[in-house]
Amino acid sequence: MEVVDSKEIEKRKSKIKNFFLGWIKDNYDKTFLVVLILALILRIWIFTKTLDQALWFDTAEYLSTGKYWAGMSSHMSDIWYYRRGFLWPLFSAFFFKIGLGESTIRFTEVIFSTGIVFLTYRLISIVYNKKLALASSIAMTFSWVLFFFSGRPMTDIPASFFILLSLLFFWKGYVKVTNKKHMMLFGIFLAIAVLIRMQTLIFIPCFIVYAFTKEKFKFLKNKKLWLAILMFAIMLIPHFVIYNHNFGNPVKDMASHYLGFNVEGTVSHNEQGGFSKMLMYFPDIPYLLFGSPQGPFTSFLKLAFTLIFLLGAFMFFGNLFLGFDKIFSNKKLQRDLFVLSWFIIPYLLLGRMAGLVEQRYVIAIMPFLFAIFLTPFLNLGKLNIFKNKKKFFVIILLIALLFIPNLQWGNQLTEMKKTSYHELKLAGEWLKENSDLQDVIVTNSFPQISYYSERRVATFSGGLRNPEDHLGVISQEEFNEFMQQEKPRFIVLSIFENHKDWMYSYPKDNPNWIPVIAFPPTTQPLLIIYEYQINNA
C-alpha cells in the first residue's frame, strides 16, 4: 500500500512539475527562465517601492468601487461609471471582502506584469521563432512602461495579459491547428480582457483581418470560430445588460460616445479625438519603447533608435508589401499582415477615441513592436561578426545592456511620481477619522476621497448624481440649491482636479465654511478641507 501511495505522490509531483516547467525544451527556454525570474524580481522591487503611494484618479475609482461592492461601508457612494467593464472592481472587491485588501491587489499587478513577459516569449515563439521571442522578452522585462505601471493597480496590465493570452490560444486553435478547446479559451480570455477594460475591443478587427485572409468569407461558416464568438458573447451578457440599463443600446452608445459618430438617439461626447488625430500615436513609438534616455547623446540615441525601428519594419514587412497579391495563399504573409494590423488598427482607433497619448493603452502591442525593433540586431549573426559559436547569446547580452537605460528611466519616473496625490490620501484618511458615517463630502477628487474616507461624496460638477457623470455639469445656481438641500459637512478644494473660479470662491463667499486643515500645512497648501460650522455664521 505504501509503495502504491508513493507512486501516486510521485505522479502528482510530476504533473505539477510538467505544468510549470514542461515548456522548457532547449537552451532558449532555459535562458528565458532566467529572464523570467529576473522580470519577477524587478517587479517585486517596484512593488516594495510603491506599496504605500497614493492612488491616482482612475485607480481610486476601481478600488473605491471594490470597497463599495465588498460592503466595507454602507455609507459610501456608488461612483462606478457603468460604461466600463466591471471585472477589475469585482476582482478587487473579492480581496477586500476576504480581508487582504490593497496590498494584495497591488501584488497581482506584479503577477500579471511578469505574465506578460512570459506570454511575449510564448507568443513570438509560436508566431515567429524562439530567437526573436527571447530577445523581445528581454526588452519587455526592462520596459519602462511595464516597470512603472506594475506599481499601480490599474486595468491596463491585467487587460493586456488576457488579450495576449487570448491571442496565444487563437494562434494555437485557429492558425496552427483548428482546435475546439483552444478556440473556446480564446473566446473566454478575450471576454475577460474586455470585461476588465472595454478599450480592448479595439483588437477585435485584427482577428477578423486574419480570419478573412485565411479563409476569405468562408470564415463566416467556421463552426469553431462561432463557438469562440458564442463564449465571448455569453460572458459579456451581464455587462451589456447593465450598460443598456444606464446608457441605452450599447452598440449605438459606444459608436457615439467613443468614436464620435452621429447615431440617432445618442449624444456624441468624443470631442477630443477625431480623424485629424488618428495618427497621433505613431510618433510616440520611440518614447514608448525606449523612454527618455539621459546624457549627452540623448538626441543621437533617439534618432538612432528611430532609424533602427524603421529598418526593422522594412525587414519585418518587406515581403508582405512585395507579395501582397499572394496574401490569400501564403501563410507567412497572412501572419505578417496580422502583426501589422495588431498595431496599425489599435493605433488608429486610439487616436480617434482618446485624443491624448497614453503609453499604458498599448502594452499589448509592445511585444511585436520590440520584435520589429530587434530584428536588425538578430540579423547581425548572419554577418559573421562574432566568431564564437554562441554568438547569438552574445547578441542577447548586448540587447540586455541596450535596454538597461530603459529600466533606469522607469525607475526615475517612479521616483518622480511616488509622492503624487499624497495630499489627497492624507485628506481622505483625516476625513475618515473626523467625520460621521452619514456625512457628505464635496470634492472633484471624488474617487480618492471616496476610497480613503469611505464616505459619501458629491462633486461641484454634478452634485450627488453619479459623480463619474462629468457630462451632466450643473450651474452655480443649481449647486447652491444642492448645498441647501443636502447640507454636506465638508468641502475639499485642491489643485489636483479642474475647478472653475466660482468653486474656489465658494467657501469665501459663504462664511459658514471654515478651513479646518490644509495639506501640506504651509503658506501654499495644495489642498484645503473646509467644514460647515453654523455657529460661525
Condensed to tens digits (0 to 9), the pLDDT of residues 206-257 reads 999 999 999 999 999 999 999 999 999 999 999 999 999 888 888 888 887 7
Distance CA 352, CA 276 (A): 8
Distance CA 67, CA 192 (A): 21
| Residue 297, Cβ density class (10 Å: 0-12 exposed, 13-18 middle, ≥19 buried) | exposed
Residue 169 has pLDDT above 70, yes or no: yes
Name 341's bridge partners. none
Q: What is the pTM of this model?
A: 0.91
Rounded to an integer, the average pLDDT of 138-155 is 95
pLDDT number for residue 278: 84
Q: pLDDT band at residue 19, thresholds of 50, 70 and 90?
A: low
Q: What's at 425, amino acid-wise?
A: K
Distance CA 7, CA 16 (A): 14
Q: Write the CA distances from 414 to 44, 59, 408, 410, 488, integer angstroms.
A: 14, 16, 10, 6, 36
Give, as one character, the DSSP assignment of residue 203.
Answer: G
Q: pLDDT band at residue 10, thresholds of 50, 70 and 90?
A: confident
H or E element in which residue 227 lies: helix 223-247
Q: Write the CA distances from 167 to 164, 173, 323, 349, 500, integer angstroms.
A: 5, 10, 25, 19, 45
> For residues 380, 384, 388 and 391, what is the CA-based torsion angle, rounded to 10 degrees?
20
Dump pLDDT digits (tens) for 254-277. 887 777 676 655 555 555 445 667
The mean of the pLDDT values for the chain is 88
Q: Are 114 and 140 in contact (CB under 8 A)?
A: no
Q: β-strand 490-494 against 527-532: which pairing, if any?
A: antiparallel
Rounded to an integer, the average pLDDT of 411-439 is 94
Rounded to an integer, the average pLDDT of 337-358 is 91
Distance CA 520, CA 524 (A): 8
Q: pLDDT band at residue 471, thresholds of 50, 70 and 90?
A: very low
